[in-house]
A and B are shown apart, each in its own frame.
Chain A
């Protein structure tokens, strides 16, 4: 790394939170290090200039993945994408989420990258964001002075921007039990067959009385459309989606292409869950 920083690795949650609060109060830029697959890239690119990097991977309390019928699915901060993918519970009960995570980067990165990290990075093309939105996931945000809960759509405030304060961490993600077992699908448009950033992604979630749709890479913030009645005409759903998105032209794709593919994906996904 061109930029120099120091490194600390607390071994308990209390120590981690105290470190963040003290360092931040002292005017230092303290940045949490989770899987590192985004942070170290940003540091190298000069986009992030931490004074101290606080590794959270040695905190055992944060490395828990569990499911129960009341609380739902709880994903601790340092649980890696591959660990979530390996969970039978996730594979069986949260199919769309599972499908989306298997599209996230490649095997080596999934060994390190975490689901919370993917959310905190808040990239419009994050693969976990759209499915978590349709699942009504909540984040537990914790600092030395306490915890608060927040919905994913409130958490992500803009391109790579979140509601997280410098002394806070996302302690865990909670996916409600009611969202388990729903049908749905995930579509991701890429330039190549192998791993790539999504040019546009659509997640669809369907229960007996509602369809929810989330679209990524098509607006500064991920888009969620709720309360669609099953059986609604595909053209109507597409019109709703087109009104909600605001894609840009960039080096990877034109806005027009993105819009066209959102329509195509919606049509395919609606057909699948009929």
Chain B
């Protein structure tokens, strides 16, 4: 069927097989491969995007269901070579290692900070509980978000090492 979606401000009208997920539509049809696929079952959060203002797992949504939706993905973060504030904070705090979880993690953080610009540490942990990271141990990610929330004054470089 034909669907129309707005992704990072660009309108797309495309044909999509009705049994395909939004994740496979983004990656396979549109070539927006920033969003990653992991478990395909709603558990790991690698595929997180923001749809109509809500963080969701794109592996559990059919592309057909997203007809008419406004979607934000990791590709909408950097403006040219200028990283977004969240990306910069992740960089400063070494919150990225292999990077596989990062696109989904950043979309979850974006959603969290929109709902609550000054989350506590506990709220940050709660906000990213649906995103697995198998590299960092989460500490650097939490620190990056704390800096964005204004609750941490140090500027990265692995404060605790």
Contact = CB atoms under 8 A, between A and B. Distances in A.
Interface of A: 1, 3-7, 9, 33, 36-37, 40-41, 44-45, 53, 55, 57, 105-109, 111-112, 194-195
Contacts of A7: 1, 18-19, 62, 64-65
B34 interface: no
Give the interface residue-count category, chain B: 20 to 34
B22 to A, nearest CB: 10
Interface string B4-32: 00000000000001111100000000000
Given A36-B65, A55-B65, A109 B18 contact: no
The DSSP consensus for interface residues of chain A is: loop
B40 A44 contact: yes
B35 interface: no
Interface of B: 1, 17-21, 40-42, 45, 48, 54-57, 59-62, 64-65, 67, 108, 126-127, 129-130
Given A7-B1, A7-B64, A36-B65, A109 B17 contact: no
Nearest to A108: B130
Given A108-B48, A108-B108, A111-B55, A36 B19 contact: no
B129 A36 contact: no
B77 to A, nearest CB: 18
Contacts of A109: 42, 57, 60, 130
B21 A40 contact: yes
Contact of B126 (A6, A45, A107): A107
A55 B3 CA distance: 15
B130 A36 contact: no
Given A7-B19, A107-B55, A36 B40 contact: no
A7 B64 CA distance: 7
Contacts of B65: 7, 9, 33, 36, 55, 57
B64 A9 contact: yes
B145 to A, nearest CB: 14
A107 to B, nearest CB: 6
Contacts of B17: 4
A107 B129 contact: yes
A108 B62 contact: no
B56 A112 contact: yes
Contacts of A53: 18-19, 62
24 contacts: A6-B19, A7-B1, A7-B18, A9-B65, A40-B21, A40-B62, A41-B42, A44-B40, A45-B41, A53-B62, A55-B64, A55-B65, A105-B42, A105-B130, A106-B130, A107-B108, A107-B127, A108-B57, A108-B130, A109-B130, A111-B54, A111-B55, A111-B56, A195-B129
Nearest to A5: B19
A241 B52 CA distance: 45
